[in-house]
Amino acid sequence: MNDTIYALSSGRLPAAIAVIRISGPKASEGLMALTGKVPEPRKAAYAVFRNPDSRETLDDGLAVWVPGPKSETGEDMAELHIHGGRAIVSSIFSVFGKIAGFRPAGPGEFTKRALLNGKIDVARVEGLGDLIAAETETQRRQAVLQFRGGLSKKVEAWREKLLSIQAEVTAAIDFSDEGDVPKDLLHSARNAAASLVAEIRIALRDAKRGERLREGFMVAIAGAPNVGKSTLINCLAEREVAIVSDIPGTTRDVIEVALDLNGVPVVLTDTAGIRETSDPVELEGVKRARARAEAADLVLWLADDDREIRVKDPAREWVIRTKSDLRSVPPGEFAISAKTGAGMSALIARLAEVAGKLAGEPALVTHARQRQALEAAVTHLVALSNPAISGREELFAEELRCAADALGRITGKIGIEDVLGEIFKNFCVGK
């Protein structure tokens, strides 16, 4: 935190414009080295960027100065808006590399500093990461809600209620002999906790939908070799993503394709043909195919003949007859022909209908970590009704404390160090 960090915060070079971000105690020194002055705070100012040793002009553009603590990271910050050439960016980075205390930023380090300086909480950081990664409209809407504090505000309100209940129970323990302490405090606290459990459970009902919307609705295409799995995924993706061959066992590994169906993210997976084999490589492919089918939200079992395919859950496993242009299909069965396009529109519409159930109002809970913390809080609050605890004020207070800590982990009030590495490992440099 004592270093001053810098990074390219805009897209891949070359580009029309590049944005270089600086944050840390020597941010103003970086501006002085390049421009000879520090502009008026929070106003973009024209600047000529020069090499401080040779005074050679490197580029001209805009400089922005945002002194801390009223900045995005809570530290002194600066931004340089320059032309997006690789040589220009490299020359400016060379200047920074010669300033003591300057170093390149790591992935997500600007956001991490904002978190550690109290400018943003953990749940909002997760929302920011989801917003950057969003590929569909529904993902964007959900991520915006999280980034703007939708879950954080709810959690903090619940935590404040818990702390209030804790205070009442502590009073009952510490001042039980005082005349102004009500005798039915534990009963009142238990009722308040039950009301809180009901609120949290409402948010938890939507948690799996929120997680699935963030990650994508998983559809596995499975079946025996040469039934048209790779052909189907190529048709749905509208490009050649999988090798199509008459040779059985061509697909060995799992191939994934992301689609946007009416704003809902759908991830299609083409898997190896399932059959008995002695080939160790193909055997591993079959093993992975079965695992993907088990984990998928929906499985399309493809068959190019009339052999019966038994499924455990018809709502999650669909039987699709392929190559309908080569044979007749019994009435009532879903059939397609990738060659003629017959049945493809109906299949896509059916997929969109099922995946569309993920849409609707954005979910508050979107990460497994958040869901698990809420579930832990509920478990501790429900324990208050346990007869072994109800008459023991100390145990009662401990369950309340554990529930409050579980809620605190969602926003980072408690145990923030435990989640930092996991959260920022997928962040891009410069954010």
Provide φ and ψ at 334, rounded to 5°. -80, 125
Asked whether the predicted pLDDT for residue 274 surpasses 90, the reply is: no
Q: Between 249 and 371, where is the model more confident? A: 371
DSSP string computed for 52-119: TTT--EEEEEEEEEE-SSSSSSSS-EEEEEEEE-HHHHHHHHHHHHTSTTEEE--BTHHHHHHHHTTS
Predicted confidence at residue 174, as pLDDT, reads 62
| pTM of this structure | 0.81
Name the pLDDT band for 273 (thresholds 50, 70, 90). low
Of 48-52, 126-130, 253-257, 348-352, which range is least confident?
253-257
Domains and CATH numbers, the chain: 4-105 (3.30.1360.120), 149-206+367-411 (1.20.120.430), 214-358 (3.40.50.300)
- Paired sense of beta strands 217-223 and 102-104, if any: unpaired
Q: Are 359 and 263 in contact (CB under 8 A)?
A: yes
Predicted confidence at residue 326, as pLDDT, reads 75
Predicted confidence at residue 301, as pLDDT, reads 87
Name the pLDDT band for 418 (thresholds 50, 70, 90). confident
Q: Which two tokens stand for residue 17?
A: 């414009």
Asked whether the predicted pLDDT for residue 424 surpasses 50, the reply is: yes
Per-residue pLDDT reduced to its tens digit, 137-157: 899 999 999 999 999 999 999
Alpha helices (H) along 216-361: 229-237, 280-295, 344-355
Asked whether the predicted pLDDT for residue 323 surpasses 50, the reply is: yes
Predicted confidence at residue 234, as pLDDT, reads 82
Q: What is the mean pLDDT of residues 51-68?
A: 95
Predicted confidence at residue 33, as pLDDT, reads 95
Name the pLDDT band for 391 (thresholds 50, 70, 90). low
Q: Are 70 and 59 in contact (CB under 8 A)?
A: no
Predicted confidence at residue 275, as pLDDT, reads 62
Collapsed DSSP state (helix, strand, coil) of residue 240: coil
Per-residue pLDDT reduced to its tens digit, 127-136: 999 999 898 8
Integer Cα distance of 349 and 238 in angstroms:
16
Predicted confidence at residue 73, as pLDDT, reads 96
Name the pLDDT band for 257 (thresholds 50, 70, 90). confident
CA quadruple 418, 419, 422, 424: dihedral sign:
negative
Q: What is the mean pLDDT of residues 191-220?
A: 90
Integer Cα distance of 40 and 42 in angstroms:
7
Q: What is the mean pLDDT of residues 31-55?
A: 95
Average pLDDT across the chain, whole number? 86
Per-residue pLDDT reduced to its tens digit, 213-246: 888 889 988 888 878 778 888 888 776 665 454 4
- Containing 303, the helix (H) or strand (E) segment is strand 298-303
Predicted confidence at residue 428, as pLDDT, reads 84
Asked whether the predicted pLDDT for residue 344 surpasses 90, the reply is: no
Predicted confidence at residue 247, as pLDDT, reads 46
Q: Are 80 and 23 in contact (CB under 8 A)?
A: no
Integer Cα distance of 285 and 288 in angstroms:
5
Q: Between 368 and 416, where is the model more confident? A: 368
Asked whether the predicted pLDDT for residue 249 surpasses 70, the reply is: no
Distance of CA 191 to the CA centre of its chain: 35
User: For the chain, what's the residue count?
Assistant: 431
Asked whether the predicted pLDDT for residue 250 surpasses 60, the reply is: no
